A and B are shown apart, each in its own frame.
Chain A
Amino acid sequence: MKITFFRYFVRQAMRNMVENRLVHLIGLGTMVIAFLMFDAFILIFVNLNSWTQEQGRSLTMSIYFKGEPERAVIESIKKELLQYPVSTTGFISKDDALKSLRKQLGEKAGLLDGLGENPLPASLEIVLSRDVSGDSLPYELKTRLERIRGVDEVQYSQEWVERFQAIMRAVKLIGLVFGGLLFLAALFIITNTVKLTIYSRKDEIEILKLVGATNRFVKIPFLIEGSIQGFLGGSVALIVLFLVYVAIITKVDLSIGFASLDIIFLSPQFILLLLLMSSIIGFTGSTVSLGRFFRI
């Protein structure tokens, strides 16, 4: 494309947006709302998803012993664990467990003095090193370990992770539908905004055609305009989302009973992706409305 043409196209697009600023502002406002809902949804979704994956990945398992285990028992367990994807192991003796409980109780630690014998079991804590969600491995390991002499019980945090993952699958599905609807809404808004500006410039288009403009020459400024509008809508939505994030989310402790959920803002890659997507929506919306117009 000739540089002269390009300059003309961009100038035309800018001029059109300024001349039809009211239409554009209304369109922009509506689009920001649509994009904002979409972005907020993405933010929550991405966080929940990475968090569940994290939980699934770092599944912890506690092996409790009857009394103080012999070194040989621990060694045999460790040997057993070698064939499993276990990243860390840590032994907590009866004394360690009591010490840690004392620490947790703080001032009330005196309560423990009344106990004759230490009632806490010794345990071995292990963390599975890969994602075992939907896997039968934790269950297998549990039954195997419980068969070892001296082992009282094996507990792991799998159950709720699995339940949570089922919820996440539902959220994904809802997200797909919801995101799709928001996408269509944004497309619809852009299509109509651009259509309004096209109609307001009907005479100009006619004259351009009569003095020998190609269809492409007439269309390109509108496509640029739609893309810019989409990009602006996407940017404003992200800025608003970020401000809301800073104002509210960082100040509120989001704990879901057992684990706190740190909401992290969208990564730069994700932000770029969303901006690209909103520009593409803008471009597509313009294409759709231009197609309709030029058919007339």
Chain B
Amino acid sequence: MIRLFHVYKSFGSKNPALIDISLTVPKGEFVFVTGPSGAGKTTLLKIIFCAEKPTSGHALVDGRNLMRIKDGELSSLRRRIGVVFQDFKLLPRRTVFENVALSLEVMGVPPSMIRKKVHQTLRYLGLADKEGYYPPQLSGGEQQRIAIARAIVNNPLILLADEPTGNLDYDLTMETMALLKEIHTRGTTVIVATHSQELLKGTRRRIIALHKGRMV
């Protein structure tokens, strides 16, 4: 599903964000990417969903070479990758429903279908009664779940979550992790970036550890 070969990424003259990263994530795996702040976790995720291009090396996602991807292919690839951002990236002036519907609207899904899928997803995440609210009216945990709803509403092949529990208390963290695991059981490849050692305790999942841009 995801293959990186000797990927380097640097921003200007600063220390490189990623150094010689090679990894393979097969279809249907659940992987943690961990490391302290500034280790390159977010950059790694950004490369996978093409928000950044590798400075050198090769990256293949769902069979596409990200170094040579065209605009049209890029958008169709992104429709197959759901991303939960660290800062959620919700639109404050759009309702919960509209925020979640965005992923389907860009695909040209008919409105009746959009309504059905969004309702379904919000119900699944326990947000059915919140669809008319605006994100700033909701708690951090609820916003988090909206971000997840937007990422999974179009049944993506890959789900990337960047510090999905960063702003949450223990109970909500556990709840979110349970949710991500459930999404994984439906066949989605899941990559979770986190700096929290708590989250990794006792897990039997693969852990990709980064330190100053290198895999350790």
Contact = CB atoms under 8 A, between A and B. Distances in A.
B39 to A, nearest CB: 22
A251 interface: no
Of listed B78, B79, B102, B106, residue having the most chain A CB within 10 A = B106
Contacts of B51: 210
B106 A4 contact: no
Nearest to B109: A4
Nearest to B153: A211
Interface residues of B, number: 24
B108 A211 contact: no
A2 B108 contact: yes
B107 A212 contact: yes
Given A8-B105, A217-B106, A210 B89 contact: yes
B75 A214 contact: yes
Contact of B106 (A7, A19, A206, A212): A212
Contacts of B89: 203, 206-207, 210
Interface string A217-236: 10000000000000000000
A212 B108 contact: no
A271 B105 CA distance: 37
A214 B103 contact: no
Nearest to A2: B108
B72 A4 contact: no
B108 A4 contact: yes
B206 interface: no
Contacts of A96: none
Given A4-B109, A4-B111, A8-B105, A210 B83 contact: yes
Interface string B69-84: 0011001111110010
A131 interface: no
Contacts of B109: 4
Contacts of A7: 111
Contact of A211 (B71, B72, B150): B150
A254 interface: no
Contacts of A207: 89, 91, 102
Nearest to A8: B105
Q: Residue among A2, A4, A7, A203 with the most chain B CB within 10 A?
A: A4
A253 interface: no
Interface in A143-174: none
Nearest to A214: B75
Nearest to B99: A207
B30 interface: no
B110 interface: yes
B91 A212 contact: no
Contacts of A209: 75, 78
B91 A203 contact: yes
A215 B111 CA distance: 21
Contacts of B78: 209-212
Contact of A208 (B106, B110, B111): B106
B49 interface: yes
Contacts of A243: none
Interface string B99-122: 000110111111100000000000
A204 B91 contact: yes
A203 B91 CA distance: 8
B93 interface: yes
Nearest to B81: A212
Contacts of A215: 71, 75
A211 B150 CA distance: 9
A18 to B, nearest CB: 11
A213 interface: yes
A233 B71 CA distance: 34
A295 to B, nearest CB: 13
Contacts of A211: 78-79, 83, 102-103, 106, 150
Contacts of A8: 105
Interface string A185-216: 00000000000000000011011111111110
A5 interface: yes
Interface string A10-30: 000000000100000000000
Interface in A21-46: none
B117 to A, nearest CB: 14
Please give me the 8 A-B residue pairs with the lowest Cβ-Cβ distance, nearest first: A212-B79, A212-B78, A213-B106, A214-B75, A211-B103, A212-B75, A2-B108, A212-B106
20 contacts: A4-B108, A4-B110, A8-B105, A203-B89, A206-B89, A207-B91, A208-B102, A208-B106, A209-B75, A210-B51, A211-B78, A211-B83, A211-B103, A212-B103, A212-B107, A213-B106, A214-B106, A215-B71, A215-B75, A217-B106
